[in-house]
Amino acid sequence: MVKKENIVQQKKEHLKKLAEGAVMGLAFFVMFGMIIIPGLREDMATTLDVVLGPLANIIDNFLIVILLLSVVTGIYTSIIQKYTMNWEVMAKSKELQKQMREIQKEYIEAKKEDNKHKIKKIENKRAEVMRKQTEFSGEMMKQQMKPMAYIVIITIPIFMWMWQYVSGAVIFPLIGPIELTATFVFGMPYWVLWYMVCSIPLTQVVRKAIGIKSTM
């Protein structure tokens, strides 16, 4: 009975890995396909316009459209992160970071005291924590990449739609009338700046609401 359960569990794990691999492959196709496949960006935008076009027609101010989309992206991004990441691994990594900070403080104090025995002891402890961090680095990268693959598949088409649809001047809060396609610093369009201004705080609110704690 136990052996049969193990076989079923192994099959589930295998199917899960296949599904994750397929999602990762699709995410890479979406990211790099825009560069190497002519017209893919326009095709994404045109396809998504079936859903988002009526929204833009109803709401006259495109800043509000971007605000609503930032809410949507914040919600699904947070949900994807919550259910695809191993939070035990993330918590362990956070604990190791905390230990390293504490060790660094102890090391500075020992250097001030010129306590060679204490310095040696702290160096050994630091080496052990660094070894554990190195072991976790690969798993941490994997945990961060998993949700990114899902997020990219949904988010890039939305950005391609906004990129194609955005036009005209709007009144930005605290700034005044500005063309949406005009650039801010480092060549960033104002519509992207507005998306970031809306998305970052809203995403933090959503993360807190569904119980995702910061890993930093």
Reported confidence tier of residue 34, pLDDT bands at 50, 70, 90: low
Query: Within a domain: residue 103?
Result: no
- Does 13 have pLDDT greater than 50? yes
Query: Within a domain: residue 120?
Result: no
Q: What's the pLDDT tens digit per position in 150-202?
A: 888 888 888 888 888 786 667 777 777 778 778 877 778 888 888 988 888 88
Written as six digits, the tokens of 140 are 């941490």
Written as six digits, the tokens of 205 are 């609110």
Give percent helix, percent strand, percent coil of the chain, each to the nearest 5. Answer: 80, 5, 15
E strand or H helix at 24: helix 2-36
CA separation, residue 155 to residues 149, 177, 213 (Å): 10, 27, 23
Which residues span the domain enclosing 23? 2-85+144-209
What's the structural domain count of the chain? Answer: 1
Query: Within a domain: residue 216?
Result: no
Query: Within a domain: residue 132?
Result: no
The answer to whether the pTM exceeds 0.75 is no
Query: Within a domain: residue 128?
Result: no
